[in-house]
């Protein structure tokens, strides 16, 4: 539970209208009802190299990842309403590892098909090792580095995630089949698109009469009802597919059993390099995603968590998902946003989500075949819309208006450009590269905006005569030839960022002088680069 909410206070809030306990249960259960299809889709992506025969296993393991990871993080003492689960980046990393494994004939059976127990044992071991590495990263206080990520970088990351979410779910929103990977306008179902738009509109702005029901759940229910009403009309042929629910099976706890035998056979040693590389990438990616998601949720809830505790919890969560052969996991802004919007506020919403998701998978999954995929896609797009922060929206409006007046603020434009760069790299390349590149660009812009000009001003001998008392003839000579003397007043620090600028300014401003006097009265610091330029 949140440090600000005692256990007794939480239980007493059950009897209060709008109480914290009611909100936590509503948030967790709403997320559990909305997310099963999305969670399972990550499993489909991760286990796609194994072929369609193992699609059902991939779906179930993807859905179980979110439940197990969130419950493990809760049991580890993590605070706040941050929910966990896999992501597109982590699922693709696992797919790459599986492709590497099944390229070895020793992972194939006599029929030439991948041996699923052996593949799951190795992928599970790699995910568990990634969790252990994540624990080490947390010990080094790496999560605290997210505090130094500039806000435009943070906003770009969130906007990029929103675009990726919409891109992933767009075929379903258009009423297309899940088997179609390329959008074809001939396959678009207009009535299915209508269902998705209705779910999206209600999820963003629910009617007042349903204010006691979470908005995302309201959108899902209304769109589902509308789908089945239209199914009884001639428009049925224009509707999209329903959710294809697989049969639920509990993950086994003996997933890693084949590893011990393969240790003696030498297969594990042969695969040590790809497994280690995968574990390092997953640990880094999961730590980064968790740190950024935790920072975003703290901003939304106006609280502050211990990032080290959260990363430790997520490391243990990955150990847990690895033991059952599931996907790697990380803290997720998207899942947590659904939880928050539905009322979740404390760590108890994690328990509600994990338990409810397992319950939905075990009991309710068979009934979810009545839910249209377009409705799920509409709610998913509403979550993506909510991830676009107020700064991005306001900055866009300001830049749009000011561009017509030709008075675009330079600093705002620079920050906006950083945001667009990070969003583009997030969408088209990778999250990790986007954060690194965006941070570097933002630091360069910060340095340029805050460094003082190295040369304060340049005066000649006439403007600043010598204060020394001299004979009349010498004083008259100085007045006649004072223009040949340049007094350069330096300012601030002379380091690698300003030294070259100082050199250029001195050469330009004092080009006609025969004698140059450097005034260091306002110089605070000189590094090796600055000293080298001055000597030159």
pLDDT in the model for residue 500: 75
pLDDT in the model for residue 2: 45
Please give the distance of CA 210 from its chain centroid, rounded to a whole number: 31
Ranked by mean pLDDT, the top range of 44-58, 295-309, 343-357, 484-498 is: 343-357
Torsions phi, psi for 125 (to 5 deg): -60, -45
CA-wise closest residue to 372 among 194, 526, 130, 105 = 194
Determine what percent of the chain is predicted with pLDDT higher than 70: 92
Q: What is the DSSP letter of 222?
A: H
pLDDT tens digit string along 170-185? 888 888 875 445 667 7
Cβ–Cβ under 8 Å, residues 143 and 291: yes
Q: What is the DSSP letter of 362?
A: I
β-pair type (83-85, 330-332): antiparallel
For residue 143, pLDDT beyond 60:
no
pLDDT in the model for residue 202: 92
- Report d(CA 421, CA 429) in Å as an integer: 11
Q: How many CB atoms lie within 10 A of CB 142?
A: 18
Is pTM, for the whole model, over 0.85? no
pLDDT in the model for residue 445: 66
Model confidence at 118, pLDDT cuts 50, 70, 90, reads very high
Crossing angle for the helix pair 373-387 and 151-173, to the nearest 10 degrees: 170
pLDDT in the model for residue 142: 61
Q: What is the DSSP letter of 175?
A: T
Structure tokens at 263: 């240790």
pLDDT tens digit string along 65-88? 999 999 999 999 888 899 999 987
Contacts for 323 with CB less than 8 Å, ≥ 6 apart: 124, 128, 253, 255, 256
Q: What is the CA radius of gyration of the chain?
A: 30
Structure tokens at 414: 């620079």
Q: How many CB atoms lie within 10 A of CB 370?
A: 12
Place of tokens 């959108």: 219
Q: What is the mean pLDDT of residues 362-379?
A: 83
Helix (H) or strand (E) holding 379: helix 373-387
Q: Where are the beta strands (DSSP E) in 57-158?
A: 83-85
Ranked by mean pLDDT, the top range of 116-120, 180-184, 262-266, 446-450 is: 116-120
Model confidence at 18, pLDDT cuts 50, 70, 90, reads low
């Amino acid at each position: 539970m949140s440090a600000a909410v005692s256990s007794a206070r939480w239980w007493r809030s059950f009897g209060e209208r709008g109480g914290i306990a009611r909100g936590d249960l509503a948030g967790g259960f709403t997320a559990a009802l909305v997310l099963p299809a999305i969670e399972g889709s990550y499993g489909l992506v991760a286990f796609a190299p194994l072929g369609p025969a193992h699609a059902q296993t991939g779906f179930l393991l993807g859905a179980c990842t979110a439940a197990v990871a969130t419950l493990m993080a809760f049991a580890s003492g993590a605070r706040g309403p941050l929910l966990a689960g896999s992501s597109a980046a982590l699922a693709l990393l696992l797919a790459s590892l599986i492709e590497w494994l099944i390229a070895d004939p020793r992972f194939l059976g006599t029929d030439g098909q991948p041996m699923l127990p052996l593949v799951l044992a190795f992928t599970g071991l790699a995910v568990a090792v990634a969790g252990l590495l994540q624990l080490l990263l947390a010990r080094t206080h790496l999560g605290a580095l997210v505090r130094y990520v500039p806000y435009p970088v943070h906003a770009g990351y969130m906007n990029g995630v929103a675009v990726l979410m919409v891109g992933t779910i767009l075929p379903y929103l258009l009423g297309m089949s899940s088997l179609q990977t390329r959008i074809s306008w001939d396959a678009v179902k207009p009535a299915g698109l209508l269902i998705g738009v209705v779910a999206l509109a209600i999820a963003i702005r629910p009617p007042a009469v349903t204010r006691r029901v979470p908005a995302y759940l309201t959108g899902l229910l209304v769109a589902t009802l509308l789908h089945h009403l239209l199914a009884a009309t001639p428009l049925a042929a224009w509707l999209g597919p329903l959710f294809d629910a697989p049969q639920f099976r509990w993950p086994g706890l003996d997933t890693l059993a084949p590893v011990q035998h393969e240790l003696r056979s030498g297969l594990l040693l042969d695969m040590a390099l790809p497994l280690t590389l995968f574990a390092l990438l997953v640990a880094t990616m999961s730590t980064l995603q968790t740190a950024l998601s935790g920072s975003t949720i703290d901003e939304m809830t106006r609280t502050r968590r211990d990032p080290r505790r959260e990363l430790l919890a997520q490391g243990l969560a990955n150990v847990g998902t690895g033991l059952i052969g599931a996907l790697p996991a990380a803290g997720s802004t998207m899942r947590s946003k659904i939880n928050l919007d539905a009322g979740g506020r404390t760590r108890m919403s994690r328990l509600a989500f994990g338990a409810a998701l397992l319950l939905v998978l075990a009991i309710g999954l068979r009934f979810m075949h009545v839910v249209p995929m377009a409705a799920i896609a509409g709610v998913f797009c509403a979550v993506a819309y909510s991830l676009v922060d107020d700064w991005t929206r306001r900055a866009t409006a300001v830049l749009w208006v000011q561009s017509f007046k030709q008075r675009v603020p330079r600093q705002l434009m620079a920050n906006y450009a950083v945001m667009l760069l990070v969003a583009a790299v997030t969408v088209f390349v990778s999250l990790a590269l986007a954060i690194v590149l965006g941070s570097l660009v933002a630091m360069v812009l910060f340095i340029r905006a805050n460094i003082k000009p190295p040369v304060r001003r340049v005066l000649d001998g006439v403007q600043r005569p010598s204060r020394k008392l001299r004979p009349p003839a010498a004083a008259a000579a100085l007045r006649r030839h004072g223009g040949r003397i340049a007094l350069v007043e330096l300012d601030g620090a002379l380091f690698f960022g300003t030294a070259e600028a100082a050199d250029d300014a001195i050469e330009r401003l004092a080009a006609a002088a025969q004698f140059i006097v450097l005034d260091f009265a306002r110089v605070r610091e000189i590094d090796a680069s600055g000293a080298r330029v001055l000597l030159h």
